[in-house]
Amino acid sequence: MPIKSRIRTIPDYPHEGIMFRDITTLLQDAQGFRKTVDELVQAHAGVRIDKVAGIEARGFILGGAVAHQLSVGFVPIRKKGKLPWDTMGEEYQLEYGTDEVEMHTDAITAGEHILLVDDLIATGGTAEAAIKLMRRAGAEVVGCSFVVDLPDLGGRKLIEAMDVKVLTLCEFEGE
């Protein structure tokens, strides 16, 4: 069964007109979860990856599993104020206002090759901020992997314009 068919769509969540792509149905399906992680890992065979970074919160689940399969460390990228030690942050634009992502200052060593993982790419703002943050720490971001792409929102193009390869496993039209 294809990965896309295991993702639930919830209309009008969190706002009217939004079709929320819920991967929890994929994660609770043992075969679907395994297939997803395998595809995220296999796409990077032969690529040097020192650590996997995951964006809060579903990126922690997927990124942790990918890091485990690759036998590398994991870097959590969280919303501002959620990490308990010294952090560095990167602000990004929201539809109305700004937000910020952070990571620990010692999470990445300059020169490390990092794979960024999250569940979905929409406008790409959070992933863009995460890439800028990791680059400021001296990392080379070797790719971004997402389960879902919403191509109408342009996130993939934004990340590719930063010279970062993007892998997605399925896409949904619209928002």
What pLDDT does 127 receive?
Answer: 98
Low-confidence ranges of the chain (pLDDT < 70): 95, 175
Domains annotated for the chain, with CATH where assigned, are 47-171 (3.40.50.2020)
What pLDDT does 66 receive?
Answer: 98
Torsion sign, CA atoms 77, 79, 82, 83: positive
What pLDDT does 93 receive?
Answer: 86
Name the residues annotated as catalytic.
58, 95
What pLDDT does 175 receive?
Answer: 62
